[in-house]
Amino acid sequence: MKNTDSARTAENPRCRQQGVTCMPYERPDWDSYFMTIAAVAATRSTCLRRQVGAVIVRDGQIISTGYNGSPKGTPHCAETGCLRARLHIPSGERQEICRGSHAEMNAIAQAASVGVSTAGASLYCTHSPCAFCTKAIINAGIRRVVYLYSYPDELAEHLREEAGLICGQFPHENLQKIFCCLDLVRAQLDRDAELKKGECSCC
């Protein structure tokens, strides 16, 4: 079997050893793979309004991840309450009035903090970047953005067009690939947890 993204796996040999029947699954393409990881990163978010995750990839390798939340060392919004909600600020407006830092900003900051270049990289995000994040993405040299859900920000769209940033929405018909990836991980963890103590699970 060729090592391609479109190849379908046969029944897992480990499943046969354990007497478990596994359904064949389609190996995820790269965009689905990285978007799945962005969705997992979003589960770390401490925002009370919207949980967002981001992954920066260069040359097919993940170099940074991020999620939205308060800056390091400061109380989470769950402790202080949502400033934007308290001031009745609608979604997509006055992004500067917020205790949290956005997922894309945090992913870029994480890469910078360890001296990793983002030039020429791609960014996968669960939501399309706002204007503030778009400016940071452009200046960080990121050349491609893939997002799952739209975020209402006309200025961000205009800036991306002006800068020639390649930006596209992840096809919603491919969401099932993300669900399959997560289901497979859960199934594998469940099987491993059932193995008898001392039994090797790597072969």
User: Which tokens go with 97?
Assistant: 């009035």
Count of C-beta atoms within a 10 Å radius of residue 199: 9
Q: Are 111 and 62 in contact (CB under 8 A)?
A: no
Q: Are 112 and 131 in contact (CB under 8 A)?
A: no
Angstrom distance (rounded) from CA 70 to CA 48: 11
Angstrom distance (rounded) from CA 30 to CA 58: 12
Q: Are strands 122-127 and 144-149 parallel, antiparallel or unpaired?
A: parallel
Angstrom distance (rounded) from CA 149 to CA 135: 19
104 catalytic, yes or no?
Answer: yes
Phi (first) and psi of residue 177, to 5 degrees = -65, -40
Q: Which residues contact 178 (CB under 8 A, 6 or more apart)?
A: 28, 32, 35, 36, 39
Angstrom distance (rounded) from CA 11 to CA 71: 45
From 26, 79, 96, 104, active-site residue: 104
* Residues carrying an active site annotation: 104
